[in-house]
Each structure stands twice: as C-alpha cells, then as structure tokens.
C-alpha cells in the first residue's frame, strides 16, 4: 500500500530531473509514487521522460500540459486529483531529497497539519559536478565538509540546513521558531488541500502562489504549519532565479483581504 504521493513540479531540465530521481531511489521509505507534473516541456524532453521513467523502482506517473506561460499551479492541481495516496508531498524537480526525506514527512504527518522543510542552496560549481551515480553512492553524506566549505568560501548558501538531526531535543530546539511554508518542500493530507480547493491558478509567476498563498488559506481553515527543519531536507540545484511579478503581490493582497480559504480558481472552478 502506498504511504505517500510525491508531486514534483517540472519544466524542461532533464539533467536536473535525473539527479532528483536518483535521490528518490535512495529513500528509506519505499512505498510511494511520484507524479511528475510538467508545465509544458518541449517534445524532446517529453520523449526522454517517457523513456527514463521506466528505469526506476518506484512508479512514476507523468502528466503534461501545453506551454502557455507559467501555469505551475494548474498542473499541481491536476496532480492532486490523481494522487493515489492521502499523504501529499510537494517538491520542485530541481531539489534532490535527503534519503530520509519521505520517511520523515510521513512519520511527522497528521490531519490538520502541514509540514514544511528547508533546503540547502548548492552553488553552480557543486551542482555542475553532480551525476546520478554520485548521488546514488551517497555524495551528500560523504562530502559534508566539502559542502560546508563551499558555503564558507564558495557559492552555496544555507548549508547548515543540510544537517540531519535524529536527536529529539535538537529537533525541538531547531523547530521552536515559526517558519513559513516552502513551496518546494511541504506535505499535507489530501483532504486538507482539497478543502481549500488546492492551488490558486491565477498566479502567473514563481513564489507566493505555491507557498504564501497556500499557507494563508490553510491557516484560515485551521491547519497548523509545522516546521521540519533539519528533518526533511533537500539540496537545491543551482539556476538563475526568476523575478517575482507585482501581479502576484497584488493578487495575494486581494486574497488576504478576502479572508476566504476556498479559492474559486483552484481544482474545482465554476
């Protein structure tokens, strides 16, 4: 029986995807499916995905929509509707998961709870060095010092977020602070996501629409945001960041002023 559905937002970068999938092969929890939610990749990328998807030990369900600009929230909503598991884990397909990533999201889950983890931002130098084989052989476990040094002298940031704590006291200490939802690393019960009608599809650029907006509406519905810092860990592969659009900020102000949890522009639309 599946214990979790991972919904991974993807667009065109096959090399990054191979690294991410290698990370999922190393998971300590094996009872999961992965829905690859593709927001309009090229036909060449689609063909390659359909070929490589057969090479993994976990089921990969591939969904695609036509490229008509940034419509990440729309394809994520489709992923929610077809998920077989009641426990949903959201990631971006440029974030390599720690081996205990799925296990920890499951162990700490519950109705009315939304778990939010954090990630290490890898430098261009480290990201370019990685291969699926290196990840399969435990690169992040074997090279902690190198990653820390790259955080001090190189381009990696938030390298301290890569320290995985098993000790309950340390977990409590480092998660006593309230943290906002991170769109590339959060999990929630499917019913709680359906109750707010999923993601608001009006957002037309990255950020806010897949995290701040969702957190705001979940909390209106009484869902508690729980930090799993140093517990559910990711390694974010380097790429140039896209700019926020003022349209996103303006829309979020409208959502906050409305104080309505259920968006009419989500999974079900009138």
- Condensed to tens digits (0 to 9), the pLDDT of residues 60-74 reads 999 999 999 999 999
Check pLDDT > 80 for residue 7: yes
Check pLDDT > 80 for residue 244: no
Check pLDDT > 90 for residue 101: yes
Question: Mean pLDDT for the chain?
Answer: 96
Distance from C-alpha of 95 to C-alpha of 102, rounded to nearest angstrom: 13
The residue-averaged pLDDT of 216-244 equals: 93
pLDDT digit string, tens, across residues 120-179? 999 999 999 999 999 999 999 999 999 999 999 999 999 999 999 999 999 999 999 899
Q: Confidence band (pLDDT; 50, 70, 90) for 206?
A: confident
Check pLDDT > 70 for residue 105: yes
| Prediction pTM value | 0.96
Share of the chain above pLDDT 90, in %: 93
Q: Which domains does the chain have, with CATH numbers?
A: 4-258 (3.90.550.10)
Share of the chain above pLDDT 70, in %: 99
Question: What is the reported pLDDT for 245?
Answer: 80
Q: Confidence band (pLDDT; 50, 70, 90) for 16?
A: very high
Check pLDDT > 70 for residue 252: yes
pLDDT digit string, tens, across residues 124-137? 999 999 999 999 99
The residue-averaged pLDDT of 215-228 equals: 98
**Is 28:105 a contact under the CB 8 Å cutoff?**
no
Beta strands in the chain (DSSP E): 4-10, 32-38, 60-64, 87-92, 95-97, 113-116, 118-121, 185-189, 224-227, 233-236
Number of residues written out for the chain? 270
Q: Confidence band (pLDDT; 50, 70, 90) for 238?
A: very high
Q: Is the dihedral of CA 57, 61, 67, 70 positive or negative?
A: negative
Judging by beta carbons within 10 Å of its beta carbon (0-12, 13-18, 19+), is residue 126 exposed, middle or buried?
buried
* Partner residues linked to 269 by β-bridges: 265
Check pLDDT > 90 for residue 56: yes
């Amino acid at each position: 029986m599946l214990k979790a559905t991972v919904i991974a937002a993807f667009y065109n970068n096959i090399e990054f995807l191979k690294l991410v999938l290698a990370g999922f092969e190393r998971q300590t929890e094996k009872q999961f499916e992965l829905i690859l939610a593709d927001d309009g990749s090229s036909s060449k990328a689609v063909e390659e995905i359909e070929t490589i998807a057969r090479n993994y030990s976990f089921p990969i369900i591939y969904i695609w929509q036509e490229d008509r600009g940034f419509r990440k929230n729309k394809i994520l909503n489709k992923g929610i509707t077809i998920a077989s598991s009641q426990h949903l884990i959201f990631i971006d397909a440029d974030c390599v998961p720690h081996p205990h990533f799925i296990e920890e999201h499951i162990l700490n889950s519950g109705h009315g709870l939304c778990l939010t983890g954090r990630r290490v931002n890898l430098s261009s130098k480290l990201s370019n060095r990685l291969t699926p084989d290196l990840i399969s052989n435990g690169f992040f476990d074997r090279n902690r010092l190198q990653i820390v040094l790259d955080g001090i002298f190189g381009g990696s940031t938030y390298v301290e977020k890569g320290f995985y704590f098993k000790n309950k006291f340390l977990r409590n200490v480092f998660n006593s602070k309230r943290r906002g939802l991170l769109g590339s690393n959060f999990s929630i019960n499917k019913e709680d996501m359906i109750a707010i009608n999923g993601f608001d599809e009006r957002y037309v650029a990255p950020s806010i629409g897949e995290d701040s907006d969702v957190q705001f509406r979940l909390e209106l519905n009484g869902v508690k945001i729980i930090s799993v810092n140093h517990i559910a860990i990711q390694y974010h592969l380097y790429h140039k960041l896209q700019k926020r659009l003022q349209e996103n900020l303006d829309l979020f102000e409208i959502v906050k002023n409305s104080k309505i949890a259920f968006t009419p522009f989500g999974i079900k639309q009138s």
